[in-house]
């Protein structure tokens, strides 16, 4: 994808879907983080850029979440075919199973269909 603008606002239809995606990410993050340690995943914190799909020259949008140090900690991309993919970094121990470390929460789908899951990696052996 090629960026064509530095910052923009999503069209109303995509903003509604983005709210559902952010809600799904937040719910999944709350399930896989310790009580009180869940980050606040907010739509307002996303900085969107309009992008162009080089394959078909149709527009899409890419949003980036940044932490307090301005490091990228998540993305939400709307593709020209109405599909989307989002990820938000959690980097925390699994709250109930010490064999696992929670790397990130992801969401994907098309139009109003949202699927969500976490990405787990094996924890360090002592």
Closest CA to 14 of 88, 86, 116, 117: 86
pLDDT value of residue 62: 95
pLDDT at 14 over 60: yes
pLDDT at position 18: 96
Indicate the pairing of strand 2-3 with strand 113-122. Answer: unpaired
| pLDDT tens-digit readout, 52-98 | 987 789 999 999 999 999 999 999 999 999 999 999 999 998 888 88
pLDDT band at 35 (very low <50, low <70, confident <90, very high): confident
Closest CA to 93 of 56, 126, 48, 53: 126
Residue 29 has pLDDT above 70, yes or no: yes
User: d(Cα 35, Cα 32) in Å, to the nearest integer?
Assistant: 9
Q: Say how far apart CA 54 and CA 99 lie, in whole Å.
A: 42
**At residue 121, does pLDDT exceed 60?**
yes
More confident residue, 60 or 37: 60
**With pLDDT > 90 as the criterion, what percentage of the chain qualifies?**
67
């Amino acid at each position: 994808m090629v960026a064509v603008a530095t910052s923009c606002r999503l069209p109303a239809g995509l903003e509604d879907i983005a709210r559902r995606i952010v809600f799904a990410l937040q719910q999944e993050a709350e399930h896989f983080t310790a009580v009180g340690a869940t980050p606040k995943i907010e739509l307002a914190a996303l900085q969107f850029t309009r992008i162009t799909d080089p394959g078909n020259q149709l527009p899409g949008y890419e949003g980036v979440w940044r932490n307090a140090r301005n490091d990228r900690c998540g993305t939400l991309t709307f593709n020209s075919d109405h599909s989307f993919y989002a990820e938000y970094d959690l980097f925390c121990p699994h709250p109930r199973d010490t064999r696992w470390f929670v790397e990130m929460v992801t969401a994907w789908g098309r139009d109003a269909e949202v699927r969500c899951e976490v990405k787990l990696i094996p924890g360090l052996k002592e």
